[in-house]
Structure 1
Amino acid sequence: MEHRGMKKWRPFATMPEQYIGLKEMINKQIEVAQPVLTEEQMEQVNFIFIEALHTNKQVYLTYFKNGRHITETGFIQFVDSLGNLFVFIDDVFELKNKMRLSELLDARLV
């Protein structure tokens, strides 16, 4: 009699294509449409960015990426309103992230 090893513990993992397809379907169901900010909300974000830049305060950012709302904490380093970009330094890993202002949903001071 031959020992089957790990095969006996993976009876349903014989079709990896099925798992890939199911994962894609679940991710599509989770996706949401990107909301559009009003003028008032954009002004509020602008004031928070100005204050965060001048006082070097930490900021909670909520932005839209790949159909999801993502919230991160960190510091605003640079804002280019003409180029529609800003540079955000992540609080956890201290990585620089370039983001578009159009992807931003909300900003709050910590």
Structure 2
Amino acid sequence: MKKWRPFATMSEQYIGLKEIINKQVEVAQPVLTEEQIEQMNFTLIEALHKNKQVYLTYYKRGQCITETEFIQFVDSLGDVFIFIDDIFKLKNKMRLSDLIDVRLA
């Protein structure tokens, strides 16, 4: 795909090539076992009670993203948790089903 970039002189061509490149990079969301989900829940609750920092790996728009966060709230019945971004100190809300991995920092 890199060899076609010099030909992207019109903005429509550039947008089209960018979409094609992004689709090639996309990965399917991994399917987790019940054991993995249970282990992630235990790690989230431990991080919440001990106020420990965690490495969150989650799936978003075809990519697996890993960030360092602090857990603030976990609602396993509502499939949601709230975490505080380590860099900007902002509260974020995410579905538990989007999580791929949780590790204590």
TM over 0.5: yes
Distance 1:93 1:67 in 2: 24
Displaced runs of 4 or more, over 2 A: 11-14
Which residue of 2 is the match for residue 73 of structure 1? 68
Matches within 5 A, 1:32-43: 32-43=27-38
- When normalised by structure 2's length, the TM-score is 0.90
Please tell me the root mean square deviation across aligned C-alpha atoms, in Å.
Answer: 1.4
Cα distance in structure 1, aligned partners of 2:24 and 2:12: 19
Partner AA of 2:66 in structure 1: T
Percent identity over paired residues: 78
The structure number with the bigger radius of gyration is 1
Shift of 1:14: 3.8
Kindly state the Cα deviation for residue 32 of structure 1 after the two structures are TM-superposed.
Answer: 0.7
Partner of residue 18, structure 2: 23
1: distance between equivalents of 2:21 and 2:54? 31
Equivalent-residue separation in structure 2 for 1:100 and 1:59 (angstroms):
16
Deviation at residue 74 of structure 1 after TM alignment: 1.1
Gapped regions of structure 2 (runs ≥ 5): 1-5
Aligned length, in residue pairs: 100
TM-score (norm 1): 0.86
Distance 1:20 1:69 in 2: 23
Q: CA deviation at 1:40?
A: 1.0
Pair 26,37 (structure 1): closer, same or farther in 2 beyond 3 Å:
same
